[in-house]
Structures are given as structure tokens and as C-alpha cells.
Amino acid sequence: MENVSPMTFPFNNSVVSRQQFDQHMTLYKGYVSKTNEITKVLTTQPEYDTANATAGHYRGWKKGETYAINGMILHELYFQNLGAEPSQPGPHTLALMDKYFGGKDNWQKDFIACATSARGWCILAYEQRTSTCRNILLDSHDDGQIATAYPIIVLDMYEHAYFTDYGTDKATYIARFIANIPWDVIERRAAAVA
């Protein structure tokens, strides 16, 4: 199987410092390289004979597979929607917020509560089975995701995302993230489901 390569993201945001951003980028690249390592192990030495639901070689690597791949994908979506300046949401985005939350202010109230409650990720997603937009809460890359959730706004709430800059003041981190959301990026994602 082909190896995956890390995407590049310029430092251009008003939410986190260069130091915080660089630390985060190091973690992201780790998920990409682990994705390649896990793929290699599971394809070349899966050790099928000892597969076991309590503990075992196959289980250990398989659990790491979804953790690493989601870690890679969610960070890419996060870095893409980490903005540098205030802007205004586009019509598709506003239509989703009106339809499923009763407006942007209501969406934002719920998103802040969801982010505050999350230990991993807060995501505005369009969930295809129920045909609804929801803010969903993940406690880790692979804990809390809905199988058919299409991500629209992705906020990293792991402590490594903000602790260097904000310490325990996650409310300010969330507020600065929301204030600088690059709504053009979100509009392109929203257009696919609005």
C-alpha cells in the first residue's frame, strides 16, 4: 500500500502562537508516520493466529489504526479552519445554522458548550442517517465519532492544542477560534450538504 505524506500548513492564524502551532504540527506528523507504520505492520505481519478480543498483537495495531488515521484527518481539517481574521459566514453555512439550530447565535451557544465539554474534538457535522447538523463531541480521535458524520467545522480541544498559550483558560481559546473562523473554508464544506 502507498504511504501517505503530511500536508503542509503555513503559520497564518490569530488563535495560537508559533510555538503552540509548531508543537501541534509535530504531533500531526507523528499521526501520519504512525499511519504508515501501522499499515505496514498490518499488511506484512498481522499475526492472524493470535488475534484476540482481550489483548493481542493484531488488536493492538488495529486499535491504533483508526486512532492514527482519524488523528491525521481531523488535524488537517482543523488546521484548514484555523483562521487569521474575522469574516462572515456564507449563505450555505447560514442556511444550515438556521435550519438545524435556529440561527448562528444558537449554533454558537451549543458549539461553545460542546467544545467546553470535549476532551478531544468538537465538530459541527452533517449526520447523514438522521439528516441533521449536530455539534458532536469526541473524547479522543476514535471515541465519539458518528460513522456517517460529515465534518464542517473542526476544533481541537485536546489540551496540547491550547495549553502553552492559554493554560486552563479554554474559554478564551474557544472564543478566539470562533472569532477567526475562515468562513470561506467552511462555506465550501457546507455547500456539499446545504
Binding site for Fe ion (CB under 5 A): 156, 158, 161
Least distance from Fe ion to the Cβ atom of residue 149, Å: 18
**Helices and strands counted in the chain (H then E):** 7, 3
Pick the closer one to Fe ion by CB: 34 or 104: 34
Least distance from Fe ion to the Cβ atom of residue 135, Å: 18
Distance, in Å, from the CA atom of 50 to the CA atom of 52, rounded to the nearest integer, reads 6
What's the per-residue H, E or C state across 130-160?
A: CCEEEEEEECECCECCCCCEEEEEEEECCHH
Least distance from Fe ion to the Cβ atom of residue 158, Å: 5
Least distance from Fe ion to the Cβ atom of residue 31, Å: 9
Pick the closer one to Fe ion by CB: 156 or 187: 156
DSSP 43-58: HH---GGG--SSS-HH
Find how far residue 94's CA is from the centre of its chain. Answer: 21
Pick the closer one to Fe ion by CB: 123 or 161: 161
Pick the closer one to Fe ion by CB: 109 or 119: 119
DSSP 11-39: ---SSS-HHHHHHHHHHHHHHHHHHHHHH
63: its cell numbers:
486499535
CB 15 within 8 A of CB 173: yes
Least distance from Fe ion to the Cβ atom of residue 6, Å: 14
Burial group, residue 145, by CB count within 10 angstroms (0-12, 13-18, 19+): buried
Distance, in Å, from the CA atom of 119 to the CA atom of 98, rounded to the nearest integer, reads 27
Least distance from Fe ion to the Cβ atom of residue 147, Å: 22
Pick the closer one to Fe ion by CB: 133 or 154: 154
Task: Give me the residue whose beta carbon is nearest to Fe ion.
Answer: 156
Pick the closer one to Fe ion by CB: 79 or 126: 79
